[in-house]
Chains A and B, each alone.
Chain A
């Protein structure tokens, strides 16, 4: 059974940094693309970033380019996103999401971790 367990969320001041991690199990992590998708309270879904299976190719939505960095450690089955220069509009539940047959077919989701950016 696929399991994705996010950690690292919390309350952070505007301009601060946070590092989210996702521990993956139940599948061969190194052969699947991975993504982060977020959802602000009461709002819809927003794709944030994706990374290829080997980690060589990364993708970002425009609003986080230059501030967020996605990475993965295939030896530890871990997905990471380093979030810098955080803004109030980054406040959301962040989901770790596994790519399916295609990198952006989101076939398994973690339970999410809440990030709140506020002074």
Chain B
């Protein structure tokens, strides 16, 4: 199985900050990497697919990059509604696997 490792596991940030979350795959997954946002008590929401493509309706302050084994999710300027947990996910091979999540809290 492909292991997905996110870092950091949690962080504190302020509104307006630029934020970067990292995801590393245990083997090359090309660009078959997605990012999700989950708020407490809610279902996850797809933000980025194919490593860098913005899902319809997602604000442009979210962006993704990377290929192979190393990927990043960037939020250019944090808004109050962005405080949530973020997960990466690989779809290169089954079983599909998720990273452990990054909890973004308000500083």
Contacts and interface: CB of A to CB of B under 8 A. Distances in A.
Interface stretch (A13-21, A22-30, A73-81, A99-107): A99-107
Nearest to A96: B43
A106 B46 contact: yes
Contacts of A112: 43
Interface in B67-104: 87, 89, 91, 94-101
Contacts of A109: 43-45
What band does the interface of chain A fall in when counting residues whose beta carbon is under 8 Å from B? 20 to 34
Contacts of A66: none
Contacts of A46: 98
Nearest to B55: A107
A10 to B, nearest CB: 19
Given A100-B46, A101-B49, A106 B89 contact: yes
A45 interface: yes
Given A44-B87, A44-B101, A45-B87, A104 B45 contact: no
Interface residues of B, number: 22
Contact of B98 (A45, A107, A110): A45
Name B's interface SS: loop
B95 A106 contact: no
B34 interface: yes
B46 A107 contact: yes
Given A106-B36, A112-B43, A59 B94 contact: yes
Interface string B12-50: 000000000000000000000010101000011110011
Given A44-B100, A44-B101, A47-B97, A104 B46 contact: no
A82 interface: no
Given A102-B91, A109-B43, 16 more contacts: A44-B98, A44-B99, A45-B38, A45-B89, A45-B98, A47-B95, A47-B98, A60-B95, A101-B49, A104-B89, A105-B91, A107-B49, A109-B45, A110-B43, A111-B43, A112-B43
